[in-house]
Amino acid sequence: MKSNRLVAVIYPWLNLYGGGEVFLEYCNNLLTKSFSTNLYYYNNKKKIHKKLKISKKTNLIPVNSKNFIIDLLCSKFMMFAQAYLIYYFNKHNKNNYRFVFSASGEFFSKFKTIQYIHICIFSLNFFEYKNFGLSNPFKKFARFLSAILCRIFLRIDKKKFKKVFTLTNSRWSLERINKTYIINNKKVLYPTFKIPTYKKNDLKKFNKRDNKFVVLGRVSQDKKIIEAINFFNRIKKILQDAELHIIGPIDKNYLRKIKLKIKDFEKVYFHGLISLNKRDNLLKRSKYGLNCFYSEHFGRSTLEMQKLGMIVFAKNAGGVREILLSDFQKFHNYNELFDNIIKIHFDSEIREQILVNNKKLFEKSLTDRQFSKSFISNFK
């Protein structure tokens, strides 16, 4: 294969199926329309997730260390897997590439390199780790030490990614990057791939929807799902016909916690990972969305729910604020969230203004087509 048509794509593991893996799948398959792709990933001895549909045009290149300790670390922690891929690619790669694209964050090579960052993997800012979903002090300290080891191993300093072209998923994420590295070429590219088309909505149609609340996306401890369930029980005392629906992929251990939690609550339903048609039909009948993550870097699920006519609430932090148009949709704590929901639910003027503003933004912008066009333009 001629090097001017051959590109390398980098991603740590292929056994999971969350927003990052869907992003990898989409971008890789988009690139195969113009190039031949070699996809490098760390082989953590787990099967590639069955829902991950990587184009058959892609040459999969599993990588692993022969050192037992390094292999164990890379198989358990994505940060080490990414670090080892950087090392392996630059030392053992024998191909010539037109460019290299890292869908998972920081990467450098002797070829033209493009990295897509939502949060800095090798950041040494201890206080930033809460944005990763870490609240336990021990886990924060462990990540801090891991970042130090990776930076020493790869000789990473503030200028290491200076010449790497950087894409980021929100203006907020770009601010984090600017505090961590010196990078010359960078721009925001909202990850609006596979986003549903806007569902035409107005106050009359919205009022006919059910008082359903939805938590959408990866179901995990850092997403504060149990907190959302506890909060919903408080809302239900006011809106007695309300329901809570939880939709998204989940691991077995957390699934047991969720099932144990909801058995004592009425009208709380866990759906897991369901088809897009079933998901969209449910969202089109629902009024409100909840996002309780401490600091959502962009919030694809928030965008998806708003595209389908819902009013969504999220923490007043991170990049998700860039797609929430009303202050009533943002909250610092659950008391404020409760007050905001009550205000919106019982005040038709506030509700109508939110829906009107949402239509102006979401009807023709932040679309799948816009993302694809903007993404590919970076590789010409």
For position 127, what pLDDT does the model report?
86
SS3 annotation, the chain:
CCHHHEEEEECCCCCCCCHHHHHHHHHHHHHCCCCEEEEEEECCCCCCCCCCCCCCCCEEEEECCCCHHHHHHHHHCHHHHHHHHHHHHHHHCCCCCCEEEECCCCCCCCCCEEEEECCCCCCCCHHHHHHHCCCCHHHHHHHHHHHHHHHHHHCCCCCCCCCCEEEECCHHHHHHHHHHCCCCCEEECCCCCCCCCCCCCCHHHHHCCEEEEEEECCECHHHCHHHHHHHHHHHHCCCCCCEEEEECCECHHHHHHHHHHHCCCCCEEEEECCCHHHHHHHHHCEEEEEECCCCCCCCHHHHHHHHCCCEEEEECCCHHHHHCCCHHHEECCHHHHHHHHHHHHHCHHHHHHHHHHHHHHHCCCCCHHHHHHHHHHCCC
CATH architecture label of 3-193+369-377: 3-Layer(aba) Sandwich (3.40)
For position 3, what pLDDT does the model report?
56
Q: Do domains 3-193+369-377 and 203-362 have the same CATH topology?
A: yes
**Tell me: the pLDDT tens digits for 71-128?**
999 999 999 999 999 999 999 998 999 999 999 999 999 999 999 999 999 999 988 8
The topology (CATH level 3) of 203-362 is: Rossmann fold (3.40.50)
**Tell me: the pLDDT tens digits for 257-282?**
999 999 888 899 999 989 999 999 99
pLDDT in tens, the chain (380 residues): 455 789 999 999 999 988 899 999 999 999 999 999 999 999 999 999 999 999 999 999 999 999 999 999 999 999 999 999 999 999 999 899 999 999 999 999 999 999 999 999 999 998 888 888 888 899 999 999 999 999 999 999 999 999 999 999 999 999 999 999 999 999 999 999 999 999 999 999 999 999 999 999 989 988 999 999 999 999 999 999 999 999 998 888 899 999 999 988 889 999 998 999 999 999 999 999 999 999 899 999 999 999 999 999 999 999 999 999 999 999 999 999 999 999 999 999 999 999 999 999 999 999 999 999 999 999 87
The domain limits of the chain are: 3-193+369-377, 203-362
